[in-house]
Chain A
Amino acid sequence: GAGVSQSPSNKVTEKGKDVELRCDPISGHTALYWYRQRLGQGLEFLIYFQGNSAPDKSGLPSDRFSAERTGESVSTLTIQRTQQEDSAVYLCASSPRGGGAGNQPQHFGDGTRLSIL
């Protein structure tokens, strides 16, 4: 498809397990963002990739969270030793270019709804 694709759409797992969430950005988009959204709350920034630059990891809440991106394509967000507080929707977004002005909004995927039992 033409939009941002995230998988899985839903994930239920037991506390203590590791999970891996995947994001396929729109082709040609150099910028990729991960956000966490708890029920009824706003978007909490996690990490931002821009081309081949070092990612901005300033939003990652703990060292249990990590993310990788291969070039300007797929990204994976990994949460190790999950805890119940990690339950949320994880949203990925991409935009066409980085580092400058211009009306380049983010395009969001539908998110992964993560539930930790």
Chain B
Amino acid sequence: GQNIDQPTEMTATEGAIVQINCTYQTSGFNGLFWYQQHAGEAPTFLSYNVLDGLEEKGRFSSFLSRSKGYSYLLLKELQMKDSASYLCAVRGDNNDMRFGAGTRLTVKP
């Protein structure tokens, strides 16, 4: 079966750092993606990991440990506009993509 787990909701303060975790158990693995989705809008691509380690892209970083089936998305210097849902997705060996239920992040002043 396919399991992709994330916390349902998180709250953080403007200017702070937040880490959103994702654990997965899938029948195949060909990369892990993070997407951002604002309410009422389509998801947009944030980051991609296929090898173990940290990928940094501006204020956003993503980490992967394949042996542990674990990833996190790190958001630094939080801004109010970062309030959104963050979706973890795993690509399988057949290029199929499965999503977690998403983490709703609220950034407070």
Contacts and interface: CB of A to CB of B under 8 A. Distances in A.
Interface of A: 31, 33, 35, 40-45, 48, 50, 56, 91, 93, 95, 97-103, 105-111
Contacts of A107: 45
B97 A91 contact: no
B98 to A, nearest CB: 6
Contacts of B45: 105-107
B94 A56 contact: yes
A44 B31 CA distance: 19
Q: Which of A35, A41, A44, A105 has the most CB of B within 10 A?
A: A105
Interface stretch (B13-21, B36-44, B63-71, B74-82): B36-44
25 contacts: A31-B95, A33-B97, A41-B102, A42-B99, A42-B100, A43-B43, A43-B87, A43-B89, A43-B99, A45-B96, A50-B95, A95-B95, A97-B95, A98-B94, A103-B31, A103-B48, A105-B33, A106-B43, A106-B45, A107-B45, A108-B42, A108-B44, A109-B42, A110-B42, A111-B42
A28 B27 CA distance: 28
Interface residues of B, number: 24
Given A106-B97, A110-B42, 10 more contacts: A31-B95, A40-B104, A48-B97, A98-B94, A101-B50, A103-B31, A103-B50, A105-B35, A105-B48, A108-B44
B30 interface: yes
A115 to B, nearest CB: 14
